[in-house]
Amino acid sequence: MKVSSLAGAIMAVALASTSAVTFAQDQGHGRITFRGAIIEAPCSIAQESAYQTVEMDQVSNVSLKDGGKSTPKTFKIELRGCELGALKSATATFTGSPASNPDLLAIRGTAQGASLAIADHTGELIKLGDASPAQTLSNGDTYLEFKAYLQGDMVAPAGGGAATGAAIKPGDFETFANFTLAYQ
């Protein structure tokens, strides 16, 4: 009887050990997907520049009255590992949902009566769909610099005449712009 009790105890310990090993083999699992693209370009766009958010902060409705503009916010498209060779500069073309003024981006949200403008580093407006003025680049890590600002919308009267400022409705807004780079 002692032999069978001993054999039973050994069998129980062996089964418990096997079960513990079985459970220890999978203590959580998952999958990681890696995505990207190989592009034919002298530079890579930094991840934080490819998908960035520019905080426009709070803008007074009074500053946008009659086509007024907010204080410009600077943003950069950072480029990494540039090997430019004969290429010395780049342009950016911005696209998105146009506003009533097709040179500007429409905003969406509860705010109304304004649109978003994108300008070059000197403050000159870049029309949607047009290439920006070329900016000089350097080998290694470099960047392109731009500005964005809100501009109050102007409304042309139905019968003609001078445009007047649209009513500015306070609220939250956002808009999106895509960009394409061209090296020269």
pTM of the model: 0.80
In a domain, 72, yes or no: yes
In a domain, 3, yes or no: no
DSSP 47-62: HHHHS---------GG
pLDDT digits (tens, 9 = 90+) for 75-111: 999 999 999 999 999 999 999 999 999 999 999 999 9
Say which range, 1-5, 74-78, 153-157, has the weakest mean pLDDT: 1-5
What CATH number should be reported for the domain holding residue 141? Answer: 2.60.40.1090
H helix count then E strand count, the chain = 2, 12
Sign of CA dihedral 93, 98, 104, 110: negative
In a domain, 68, yes or no: yes
In a domain, 2, yes or no: no
Total count of domains within the chain: 1
Higher pLDDT among residues 146 and 20, named by residue: 146
Q: Give me the domain span that covers residue 135.
A: 42-48+61-181
| pLDDT at residue 15 tops 90 | no
In a domain, 65, yes or no: yes
In a domain, 22, yes or no: no
CA proximity to 76, closest of 146, 168, 15: 146
In a domain, 83, yes or no: yes
DSSP-derived secondary structure letter, 72? P
- Tell me the β-bridge partners of 181: 92
* 89 membership: H or E segment, kind and range: strand 89-95
pLDDT digits (tens, 9 = 90+) for 34-47: 788 888 899 999 99
